[in-house]
Amino acid sequence: MSRYDLTEFEWRVIEPLLPNKPRGVPRVDDRRVLNGIFWVLRSGAPWRDLPERYGPRTTCYNRFVRWRKAGVWDQLMDVMTAAHKGEIQMIDSTSVRAHQQAATAKRGVQIIVSVDQEEGSQPRSMSSSMRKGYRSGSP
């Protein structure tokens, strides 16, 4: 059992809510497909990286999209929240920390450009905010 897989309690709550329209082809195990969908959503990995133990990635992706259009996910989240009696917390992308490189352009920070100076030449290290004025001929 992976850390992203449904617990027995969660599966018992969710199973009766899943659409189960029999079609010509036997259905792939719903629990395995759901675990695959949750693996992708929780890990942030692309669908193509879905481990084989969850079945074909196209099956997981197609069922995710089909259930989204049918409103199944909204029903599942409402029932899961009620089943946990408000003890479950969900987050969205507004509370997820950005990558460390996304915060490098802070206001008021001056970047210093430095080049080795040849003997007898003018210094070439200057604040980036001064570069434009220096190049245009102003002091």
Regarding whether 117 and 72 lie in a shared domain, the answer is no
pTM for the structure as a whole: 0.57
Regarding whether 63 and 129 lie in a shared domain, the answer is no
For residues 50 and 57, the answer to whether their CB atoms sit within 8 Å is yes
Regarding whether 131 and 66 lie in a shared domain, the answer is no
Chain segment 5-25, per-residue pLDDT in tens: 888 988 888 888 888 777 777
Regarding whether 73 and 109 lie in a shared domain, the answer is no
* CA 54 to chain centroid: 19
Regarding whether 80 and 15 lie in a shared domain, the answer is yes
Residue 108 located in a structural domain: yes
> Residue 83: exposed, middle, or buried by beta-carbon count in 10 A (0-12, 13-18, 19+)?
middle
Regarding whether 123 and 69 lie in a shared domain, the answer is no
Query: Which among 64, 67, 35, 73 has a CA at the least distance from the CA of 51?
Result: 35
How many CB atoms within 10 Å of residue 48?
Answer: 8
Regarding whether 114 and 70 lie in a shared domain, the answer is no
Residue 97 located in a structural domain: no
Domain carrying residue 118: 104-135
Residue 3 located in a structural domain: no
Regarding whether 82 and 18 lie in a shared domain, the answer is yes
Residue 20 located in a structural domain: yes
Regarding whether 117 and 58 lie in a shared domain, the answer is no
Chain segment 27-83, per-residue pLDDT in tens: 778 899 999 998 998 888 999 999 999 999 999 999 999 999 988 888 887 877 777
Regarding whether 124 and 83 lie in a shared domain, the answer is no
Query: Which among 95, 1, 84, 91 has a CA at the least distance from the CA of 41?
Result: 91
- Domain count of the fold of the chain: 2
Greater model confidence, 114 or 68: 68
- Residue ranges with strand state E in the chain: 112-113, 126-127
For residues 112 and 127, the answer to whether their CB atoms sit within 8 Å is yes
Regarding whether 35 and 60 lie in a shared domain, the answer is yes
Regarding whether 73 and 41 lie in a shared domain, the answer is yes
